[in-house]
């Protein structure tokens, strides 16, 4: 009697590979690994018990194998080579005749559902033409409560509820050809809808948030030109379909927007890039490009997140003046925190007024509601610097180059003023390492900046090269120059712009030489400062008359002012702050300035000597100090000498 090992060596491998059949019970089936067939017990017995039939079949196979081997090894004869024996007219006609493909007809009703078998989740794909908010809520809740789905995506960047919502939207709306995508997407954005039913905390936390499908050919039906060669960019498999990866866009309205980004490639030049980078966005029409809420210069390809237009609009105002990236970062973090507090308050209030006794615990902010944090201050400053130098803008030039060309094109036909500013270098990155002590800037009569360079000191030789380049501009032909050091280095400036250049000491610096010697806590400080300005200049008569007429008629502020109201307003800081921009200043002649300075000095001094003018000033009744300091007399003398 043969053993089981000898049986396996026999010719019983013909149906299902090399594995021999084992005895089966009545209810068992034999599954063939190679062919995937199911064999009943009767067929199993038929194949395994007929020893003689199996032996005959084995011999037949051996003979067939021997015959085929001999046929393959025998070379072809000349008659057999390139034979047209079977190349008949009927065969050719039958080969090229179009074949009718059979289409399987399936009946789909509006209530039909297909249960996805052997999937990692237990969701139901709806094949209907209408998808309601309740349907989305139920499917998202089922996904979030599925242990396999949670375990498979616990390391995702996006919150679990957003990830589940994106998966349901892709399966039910985007990939479902029966559904009109335009009903649910506004451009490329879909807002998580609210439902009338009581929602789970995970779904309630994402209501109102936006999901962006950055797929331009699918959502708009446009061909995206390649930024390199002008060919068409084709979609590739998205990172969401591969690894369920989503891309965040941080905004000031609350939590970030999450994007499904499609990679795109060009078959002509092999250029590859994401569909949300600035190079690709600039190739789209403006009305389509506006659907992605990110400025093209901030859509950098080397970042794992983007800043929305609401955030970058604030950055463009704050960063050039203050360079405060930390403030912008705090604004983004605060937006997420405020939105979370509003969500928690709304959720528990909803359960309270629905009559439920106890509401489920809400999702945690860190790790559930917010899984990624906005960039910090250093990251925002780096992003702003890279965006300023990025050339993927609608006008194909970076902000840095555009601002440089705008400054270089500023001309002058009347007056310019130059000054050294030290506060600017405090916000300049690594100012000490590069030796930048201050900024030398130059402004024209129109208020435009014509020049701004960093210099290591206030010496004229440090800015001489920049001043020489300025003098070579064809449109820069000034007649007068204002400076806080005039008449110092007047020979240098007249060498550049001609002997006809008139130099003047800046009015602000001229007044400051006196006011910085006064005691600010004195009771007469504000009155003395106003009278000092009156000694140096007067308002244009026409401008002042027009201003008084407007104040009395109420055309400026909407309130009619009397003469007494205008007089009281003149004695406050509000008059200069509100109306100084409407009034031109006319500088008095030098001899009048000197005479009025003497009267002003005698009006506020507290002691006199010799035959000089009598002292008419007073000490402060509260602190008992005089308005003038010992340096005030020398400052008045110096200003009288420089009055011309």
What was the pLDDT predicted at 569? 86
Contact 297, 392 (CB under 8 A): yes
Does 84 fall in a domain?
Answer: no
What was the pLDDT predicted at 163? 92
Q: Do 225 and 203 share a structural domain?
A: yes
What was the pLDDT predicted at 310? 92
pLDDT in tens, 520-543: 999 889 889 988 988 988 899 999
The tokens for 534 are 């009156």
Residue given tokens 């090229």 in the structure block: 96
Which candidate, 296, 306, 293, 209, places its Cα nearest to that of 248?
306
Nearest-angstrom CA–CA distance, 504 and 502: 7
Q: How many residues does the chain have?
A: 644
The tokens for 602 are 């005698």
Q: Do 398 and 329 share a structural domain?
A: yes
pLDDT band, very low/low/confident/very high, at 123 (cuts 50, 70, 90)? very low
Name the residue with higher pLDDT: 71 or 481.
481
Which candidate, 156, 258, 273, 165, places its Cα nearest to that of 212?
258
Mean confidence (pLDDT) of the chain: 82
Judge whether residue 232 has pLDDT over 90.
no
Exposed / middle / buried, residue 535 (Cβ in 10 Å: 0-12, 13-18, 19+): buried
What was the pLDDT predicted at 227? 86
Domain region containing 260? 180-402
pLDDT band, very low/low/confident/very high, at 611 (cuts 50, 70, 90)? low
pLDDT in tens, 56-79: 667 788 888 888 888 778 887 777
Q: Do 415 and 356 share a structural domain?
A: no
Per residue, what are the HEC states of 202-254?
Answer: HHHCCCCCEEEEECHHHHHCCCEECCCCCCEEEECCCHHHHHCCCEEEECCCC
Does 94 fall in a domain?
Answer: no
CA atoms within 13 A of residue 247's CA, in its CB half-sphere = 27
pLDDT band, very low/low/confident/very high, at 216 (cuts 50, 70, 90)? very high
Does 154 fall in a domain?
Answer: no
The tokens for 219 are 């959502």
What was the pLDDT predicted at 340? 93
Supply the angle between the helices 525-536 and 507-515 in degrees, to the nearest 10. Answer: 140
Least confident of 86-100, 212-226, 527-541, 588-602: 86-100
Q: Do 355 and 298 share a structural domain?
A: yes
Q: Do 271 and 362 share a structural domain?
A: yes
Nearest-angstrom CA–CA distance, 579 and 547: 8
Name the residue with higher pLDDT: 3 or 329.
329
pLDDT in tens, 318-357: 888 777 889 999 999 999 999 999 999 998 888 888 777 7
Q: Do 622 and 567 share a structural domain?
A: no
Nearest-angstrom CA–CA distance, 484 and 85: 107
The average pLDDT across 22-51 equals 44
Please tell me whether the peptide bond between 487 and the residue prior to it is cis, using omega within 30 degrees of 0: yes
pLDDT band, very low/low/confident/very high, at 570 (cuts 50, 70, 90)? confident
Per residue, what are the HEC states of 107-175?
Answer: CCCCCCEEECCCCCCCCEEECCCCCCHHHHHHHHHHHHCCHHHHHHCCCCCCCHHHHHHHHHHHHHHHC
Count how many domains the chain has: 5
Q: Do 592 and 457 share a structural domain?
A: no
What was the pLDDT predicted at 94? 82
What was the pLDDT predicted at 610? 62
Does 143 fall in a domain?
Answer: no
Does 303 fall in a domain?
Answer: yes
Q: Do 570 and 510 share a structural domain?
A: no
Q: Residue 436: count other Cβ atoms within 10 Å of its Cβ.
A: 16
Q: Do 469 and 354 share a structural domain?
A: no
Select from 479, 496, 517 the last residue of a domain: 479
Q: Do 475 and 423 share a structural domain?
A: yes
Does 135 fall in a domain?
Answer: no
Highest mean pLDDT among 37-41, 211-215, 426-430: 211-215
Q: Do 429 and 317 share a structural domain?
A: no
Q: Do 377 and 441 share a structural domain?
A: no
Highest mean pLDDT among 9-23, 127-141, 470-484: 470-484
Name the residue with higher pLDDT: 19 or 341.
341
Judge whether residue 47 has pLDDT over 70.
no
What is the pTM assigned to this prediction? 0.63
What was the pLDDT predicted at 48? 52
């Amino acid at each position: 009697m043969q053993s089981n090992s000898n049986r396996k060596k026999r010719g019983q491998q013909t149906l299902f590979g090399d594995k021999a059949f084992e005895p089966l019970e009545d209810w068992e089936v034999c599954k063939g690994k190679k062919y995937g067939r199911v064999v009943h017990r009767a067929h199993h017995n038929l194949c395994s018990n007929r020893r003689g039939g199996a032996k005959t079949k084995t011999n037949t196979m051996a003979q067939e194998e021997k015959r085929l081997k001999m046929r393959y090894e025998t070379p072809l004869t000349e008659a057999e080579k390139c034979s047209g024996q079977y190349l008949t007219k009927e065969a050719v006609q039958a080969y090229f005749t179009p074949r009718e493909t059979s289409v399987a007809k399936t009946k789909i009703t509006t209530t039909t559902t297909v249960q996805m078998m052997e999937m990692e989740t237990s969701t139901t794909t709806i094949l209907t033409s209408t998808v309601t908010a309740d349907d989305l809520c139920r499917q998202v809740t089922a996904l979030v409560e599925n242990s396999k789905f949670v375990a498979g995506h616990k390391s995702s960047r996006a919150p679990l509820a957003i990830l589940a919502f994106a998966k349901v939207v892709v399966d039910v709306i985007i990939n479902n050809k029966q559904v009109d995508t335009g009903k649910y997407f506004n451009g490329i954005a879909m807002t998580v809808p609210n439902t009338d039913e009581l929602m789970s905390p995970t779904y309630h936390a994402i209501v109102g948030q936006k999901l962006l499908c950055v797929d331009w050919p699918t959502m708009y039906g446009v061909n995206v030109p390649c930024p390199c060669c002008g060919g068409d960019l084709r979609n590739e498999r998205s990172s969401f379909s591969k690894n369920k990866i989503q891309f965040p866009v941080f905004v000031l309205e609350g939590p970030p927007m999450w994007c499904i980004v499609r990679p795109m490639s060009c078959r002509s030049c092999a250029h590859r890039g994401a569909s949300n980078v600035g190079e690709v966005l600039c190739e789209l029409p403006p009305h389509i490009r506006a659907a992605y809420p990110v400025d093209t210069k901030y859509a950098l390809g080397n970042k794992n997140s983007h800043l929305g237009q609401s955030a970058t609009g604030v950055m463009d105002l704050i960063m050039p003046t203050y360079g405060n990236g930390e403030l912008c970062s705090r604004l983004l973090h605060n937006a997420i925190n405020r939105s979370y507090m509003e969500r928690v308050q709304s959720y528990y209030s909803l359960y309270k007024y629905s009559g439920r006794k106890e509401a489920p615990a809400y999702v945690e902010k860190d790790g559930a509601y917010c899984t990624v944090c906005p960039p910090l201050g250093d990251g925002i400053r780096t992003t702003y610097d890279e965006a300023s130098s990025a050339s993927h803008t609608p006008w194909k030039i970076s902000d840095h180059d555009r601002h440089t060309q705008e400054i270089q094109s500023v001309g002058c036909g009347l007056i310019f003023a130059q000054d050294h500013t030290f506060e600017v270098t405090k916000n300049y990155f690594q100012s000490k390492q590069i030796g930048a002590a201050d900024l030398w800037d130059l402004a024209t009569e129109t208020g435009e900046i014509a020049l701004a360079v960093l210099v290591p000191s206030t010496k004229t030789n440090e800015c001489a090269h920049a001043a020489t380049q300025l003098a070579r501009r064809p449109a820069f032909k000034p007649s007068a120059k204002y400076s806080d050091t005039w008449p110092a280095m007047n020979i240098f400036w007249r060498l550049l712009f001609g002997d006809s250049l008139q130099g003047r000491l800046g009015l602000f610096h001229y007044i400051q030489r006196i006011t910085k010697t006064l005691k600010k806590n004195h009771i007469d400080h504000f009155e003395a400062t106003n009278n000092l300005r009156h000694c140096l200049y007067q308002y244009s008569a026409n401008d002042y008359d027009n201003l008084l007429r407007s104040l009395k008629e109420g055309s400026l502020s909407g309130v009619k002012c009397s003469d007494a109201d205008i007089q009281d307003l003149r004695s406050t800081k509000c008059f200069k702050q509100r109306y100084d921009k409407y009034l031109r200043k006319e500088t008095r002649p030098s001899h009048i300035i000197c005479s009025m300075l003497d009267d002003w000095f005698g009006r506020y001094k507290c002691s006199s000597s010799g035959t000089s003018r009598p002292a008419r000033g007073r000490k402060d009744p509260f602190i008992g100090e005089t308005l003038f300091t010992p340096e005030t007399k020398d400052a008045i003398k110096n200003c009288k000498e420089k009055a011309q």
